[in-house]
A and B are shown apart, each in its own frame.
Chain A
Amino acid sequence: TACCFFSYYFKEPSFISYVIEGKELTKEEKQRLRKEKKQQKKGKEKKDASLPQVSVAETAAPASQLKAERRARQEAERTSKQSKKGDTGQPATTIVKRLPEHIQVDDPDVLKKLAKKLERQQIPRRLDYGYKVSLFSHLLQYSRKAPLTQQLSIPSAVIHPAIVRLGLQYSQGIVAGSNARSIALLHAFKQVISDYTTPSNEELSRDLVNKLKPYISFLNQCRPLSASMGNAIKYIKKEISNIPSQFKEDDAKKKLLNCIECFIEEKIVLAAKAIAKSSIEKINDGDVILVYGCSSLVNHILCEAFEKGRKFRVIVVDSRPRLEGREALRRLVQKGISCTYVLISAVSYILPEVSKVFLGAHALLANGYVMSRVGTSQIALVAKAFNVPVLVCCETYKFCERVQTDSFVSNELDDPDDLIVTRKGETQLKDWQQVPRLGLLNLVYDVTPPDFVDLVITDLGMIPCTSVPVVLRVKNVDLL
């Protein structure tokens, strides 16, 4: 312990490791070391001149007393905070819920803070591209031609290569779709965890979480995180911090990998099976089913129903510029389902033939609104006008506690150059950047009000849209 105090006053962490090398540190000692480091940092920031720069020997005894008191105080605060399940912020400050930065782009202070944080984590920052429509000046707009990885040195010292690859796949749209993105994220994290080694004086449960933070910032910069990814990350962080400290590193890693596998298996794969089972009751022979875009869950349901022998035909509605419906069309046609294909502007023409509408969701918000690919709310609106039932299929891990009433406050803006099209050799919007008052808007998501949706099919059963907060509450109780 004398050596510890030495290092505290000399402010040299490397000195600590040199001195204590080879000794098995107890948990208490590790905690104390960490606290001392924190105190050092605090002392530097606050320029606290009250720290006595006294020689070690004289102040050894009273310093230990002070330390004990301080430690006891901090323990008390930490336990009280744990019981409230609060954030690990500075002690004795109120917990303020922070707005995510990606919807505050028009606030220069927020941008400065974000830039500082990224600099600290050594992650390059992605810049906005093109003229942004004034209604959406609070959101980010990136260009696909300028991925973040161009500003990184490869191989990167800070970011694990699996994460770099994942970030590139996100920003180029190679991995798209809420389930696909979550599964890819979890697989990348499995890779990170198996490659991870704990530094000698750190605990796995804390250090791993800190290591994941810059990765998450990097992925966020490549493409804003989806609600399902957010929930998956929360789950992983919770599992990591619940690792008991006496676990050896290999056991801890095995446990974490197992947890991730369980999550994917339960929340995504088995949930899809359960949803398919309940949905098949809703599909009758002779049905004409309308689907929009490419939802992996809805495609799974239709393929299952077809295998079980239901006779129906499918109308796939698609929209520019993503044209994801063509992918869904390929998958369904491969199974042998008879399909029709139209663009979203023809949906009023085709709806009189339709008996049901199946929609996928990106997230279900706590006020019952369904956040999904842009165009979904339009289809639900027209279906309602023609009195066609609308069913939304969504796994419970996509439920999120945010609330939103319109598609403006929180959305994603995709590359505006996607709207440019060449028809008959003429590209009307080729030089849109030069024209001063012309803006292109490429929204990714929109929210559907709950009165357009008749039923939500989840792995917990079939619920109305307004029961989402009930499910969230039940889930939170379970996790406690």
Chain B
Amino acid sequence: HKITSSCKHEATLSSTNQKAACSRSPGTMPGPYRETDLTEKVEAFLSDLKRGGSGTGPLRGSAETARETTALLRRITAQVRWSSAGDLMEVIRKEGRRMSAAQPSETTVGNMIRRVLKIIREEYARSRGSSEEADQQESLHKLLTSGGLSEENFRQYFTALKANVIEAINELLTELEGTTDNIAMQALEHIHSNEVIMTIGRSRTVEAFLKDAARKRKFHVIVAECAPFCQGHEMATSLSKDGIETTVITDAAIFAVMSRVNKVIIGTQTVLANGGLRAVNGTHTLALAAKHHSTPLIVCAPMFKLSPQFPNEEDTFHKFVSPHEVLPFTEGEILSKVNVHCPVFDYVPPELITLFISNIGGHAPSYIYRLMSELYHPEDHEL
């Protein structure tokens, strides 16, 4: 089958400008080049992910990573030869494994891949005509009555499948573009006047959240600087330029000032399957201090950060960066005799969290497992 691409080929291949806007452009590139063009794009994306792994945070925010991953998956769907849904899922899984291996800590990549796989399954099921509910989960009743696992090999071919899948991925992209705004719109429901709000490090979601509330209400923000990378400084300058009364404190003073704080609002890198967080280091201390003073801890996390991982997978949970940030090489002789650790992430258990605010509304941590079952298919948890 001739692959009718609905995507425009980018003239520039600079990785920072990967805007995958799609429109038909006949005759720009001959057929055999399309596949290598795709692999080039994938390679560029992979090397970007690998490079962005220093502790200061990725070169771009998680939202951008999610958008780029999804755009890349759409391109793969459009350009690679596949005949049935099973083939497509295999291709996407293979590419997805490569992408998540490039930067294991960037879980948004894996999450988007799982979302797309779920989309493919749904579209396939819809094309087959069976109701979506029937094939959803393997309930115990079904297992007993049907006598064995249902054989679903996705081998049937449907002409409209590709168009449907691409349309669904476009919807996903639209959803991704609006996440930060959706979260920021809920700000006024949670922040009232004259509050003292505490946050740690730098989260673009929380920044947008607080700036939106500051348009109508006056409150005070305390930012913990989060050594050794001190992303808190950037957050504080950005917030104070918008007219919010901001104070920068050191990490050591978190418990000392917590008695005066009304709410703690933080962002996170990942939301885990049990409702816990993988957030920047220092967040666990912040959560414990908030619990001690019975201060509510609110996490602003869009849905694409929800990951089916559990925290007990020890070897993949923590990420370390160069200890030069903690003890610089100028310290001389003692360097060779000392172990220095510089972990990037912290685990926060779900008991310390009061509320999750996501683009589809607010949830308690105990509800996260249900959201996950709606977003991802259980067979895709392991890519």
Give me the interface of A with B, judged by CB distance under 8 Å.
133-135, 319-321, 326, 329-330, 333, 338-350, 373-375, 377-378, 381-382, 385, 406-408, 419, 421, 423, 428-429, 432, 435-443, 446-447
- In B297-331, the 8 Å CB interface with A consists of 318, 326-327, 331
Taking each of A373, A406, A428, A432, which has the highest tally of chain B beta carbons within 10 Å of its own beta carbon?
A: A428
Q: Which residues of A contact B260 (CB under 8 A)?
A: 135, 408
- In B136-188, the 8 Å CB interface with A consists of none
Q: With the chains together, A98 CA to B220 CA distance in Å?
A: 33
A330 with B334: in contact, given A341-B326, A348-B284 (CB under 8 Å)? yes
A375 with B253: in contact, given A343-B326, A382-B288 (CB under 8 Å)? yes
Contact between chains at B252 and A319 (CB < 8 Å): yes
Contact between chains at A446 and B256 (CB < 8 Å): yes
B191 at the interface (CB under 8 A from A): no
Contact between chains at B285 and A382 (CB < 8 Å): yes
A428 with B251: in contact, given A378-B289, A423-B229 (CB under 8 Å)? no
Binary interface encoding of chain B residues 328-347 relative to chain A, with 1 for a CB under 8 A from any of its CBs, else 0: 00010010011111110011
Contact between chains at B285 and A347 (CB < 8 Å): yes
Contact between chains at B342 and A333 (CB < 8 Å): no
Nearest-CB residue, chain A, relative to B339: A340
For the complex of A and B, list the 5 residue pairs with the smallest distance between their C-beta atoms, beginning with the closest.
Answer: A375-B252, A345-B282, A428-B233, A348-B284, A446-B256
Nearest-CB residue, chain A, relative to B196: A135
B244 at the interface (CB under 8 A from A): yes
Contact between chains at B253 and A345 (CB < 8 Å): no
Number of A-B contacts (CB under 8 A): 161
Q: Which residues of B contact A133 (CB under 8 A)?
A: 247
Q: With the chains together, A350 CA to B284 CA distance in Å?
A: 12
Choice from B228, B334, B343 contacting A349 with Cβ under 8 Å:
B343
Contact between chains at A407 and B256 (CB < 8 Å): yes
Interface CB pairs A-B, < 8 A, 22: A319-B250, A320-B228, A326-B331, A333-B337, A333-B338, A340-B339, A342-B326, A344-B252, A345-B227, A346-B341, A348-B346, A374-B256, A381-B289, A381-B292, A408-B259, A419-B250, A428-B233, A429-B248, A437-B245, A437-B246, A441-B257, A446-B255
Choice from B240, B254, B288, B340 contacting A435 with Cβ under 8 Å:
B240
Q: Which residues of B contact A342 (CB under 8 A)?
A: 326, 340-342
A406 with B236: in contact, given A321-B250, A382-B285 (CB under 8 Å)? no
Contact between chains at B256 and A345 (CB < 8 Å): no
Nearest-CB residue, chain B, relative to A350: B341
- In B28-66, the 8 Å CB interface with A consists of none
Q: With the chains together, A406 CA to B259 CA distance in Å?
A: 8
- In B329-383, the 8 Å CB interface with A consists of 331, 334, 337-343, 346-347
Q: With the chains together, A428 CA to B339 CA distance in Å?
A: 30
- In B225-239, the 8 Å CB interface with A consists of 225-230, 233-234, 236-237
Secondary structure of the B contact surface, majority rule: mixed
Contact between chains at A348 and B326 (CB < 8 Å): no
Minimal beta-carbon separation of B313 from chain A (angstroms): 16
Give me the interface of B with A, judged by CB distance under 8 Å.
220, 225-230, 233-234, 236-237, 240-241, 243-257, 259-260, 281-282, 284-285, 288-289, 292, 318, 326-327, 331, 334, 337-343, 346-347
Minimal beta-carbon separation of B89 from chain A (angstroms): 37
Q: With the chains together, A419 CA to B241 CA distance in Å?
A: 19
Minimal beta-carbon separation of A159 from chain B (angstroms): 34
Nearest-CB residue, chain B, relative to A351: B284
Secondary structure of the A contact surface, majority rule: mixed
Q: With the chains together, A435 CA to B246 CA distance in Å?
A: 10
Q: Which residues of B contact A440 (CB under 8 A)?
A: 247-248
Contact between chains at B246 and A377 (CB < 8 Å): no
Q: With the chains together, A406 CA to B228 CA distance in Å?
A: 27
Q: With contacts A342-B342, A439-B248, A441-B248 known, what are 10 further pairs, Cβ within 8 A?
A: A135-B260, A326-B327, A329-B334, A346-B341, A349-B318, A381-B292, A408-B260, A435-B240, A437-B245, A439-B246
Q: With the chains together, A83 CA to B241 CA distance in Å?
A: 62
Contact between chains at B230 and A421 (CB < 8 Å): yes
Q: With the chains together, A355 CA to B225 CA distance in Å?
A: 29
Contact between chains at B228 and A343 (CB < 8 Å): yes
Q: Which residues of A contact B282 (CB under 8 A)?
A: 344-346
Q: Which residues of A contact B233 (CB under 8 A)?
A: 421, 428-429
Q: Which residues of A contact B256 (CB under 8 A)?
A: 374, 377-378, 407, 443, 446-447
Q: With the chains together, A319 CA to B249 CA distance in Å?
A: 12
Q: Which residues of B contact A340 (CB under 8 A)?
A: 338-341
Contact between chains at B251 and A439 (CB < 8 Å): no
Minimal beta-carbon separation of B250 from chain A (angstroms): 5
Minimal beta-carbon separation of B381 from chain A (angstroms): 26
Choice from B247, B281, B338 contacting A346 with Cβ under 8 Å:
B281
Contact between chains at A442 and B255 (CB < 8 Å): no
Contact between chains at A378 and B285 (CB < 8 Å): yes
Nearest-CB residue, chain B, relative to A347: B285
Contact between chains at A339 and B248 (CB < 8 Å): no
Minimal beta-carbon separation of A376 from chain B (angstroms): 8
Q: Which residues of B contact A349 (CB under 8 A)?
A: 281, 318, 341, 343, 346
Q: With the chains together, A81 CA to B306 CA distance in Å?
A: 73
Choice from B228, B236, B240, B285 contacting A381 with Cβ under 8 Å:
B285
